[in-house]
Amino acid sequence: MFSLDEIKSKKYISLETYRKNHQPVQTPVWFVVKDDLVYIVTRSNTGKVKRLQNNLKVKFALCSVKGKITGEWISGTAKILTGNETKDAVRMRDEKYGFMAKIAKFLSKSKGEFFAFSIKID
């Protein structure tokens, strides 16, 4: 059985979300693991948010910064977080990624408000 502890210290996962026509889209993202859930923070005006609002089924795998898959694909179900849960997810992400998270916050401002979701392994 796969344990999220195996990936906790890694930097990137490739997140696979699905378009309305079920076509998969893979995006390398930062992530945090807590309480057997994977947390991902993004911005509200991104494609992955639009895709998640249509379909909460996802897959993820460890990957390089450029999205080259380096681990096994794992299926899960996303849950969109509330405002306070999103604040917690942003804080956890900032703790893990430090200075790079500050730069990302600044560079992504134009893409909307913070949006976070958790993934529970199926």
Residue 1's pLDDT band (cuts 50, 70, 90) = low
Question: Range of 86's domain?
Answer: 4-121
User: The tokens of 2 are what?
Assistant: 């796969």
> What pLDDT score was predicted for residue 32?
98
Vertex 87, ends 58 and 99: CA angle to 5°? 90
CATH of residue 92's domain is: 2.30.110.10
Percent of the chain with pLDDT over 70: 99
Total domains present in the chain = 1
Q: CA-CA distance, 119 to 122, in Å (whole number)?
A: 9
pLDDT digits (tens, 9 = 90+) for 68-86: 999 999 999 999 999 999 9
Residue 48's pLDDT band (cuts 50, 70, 90) = very high
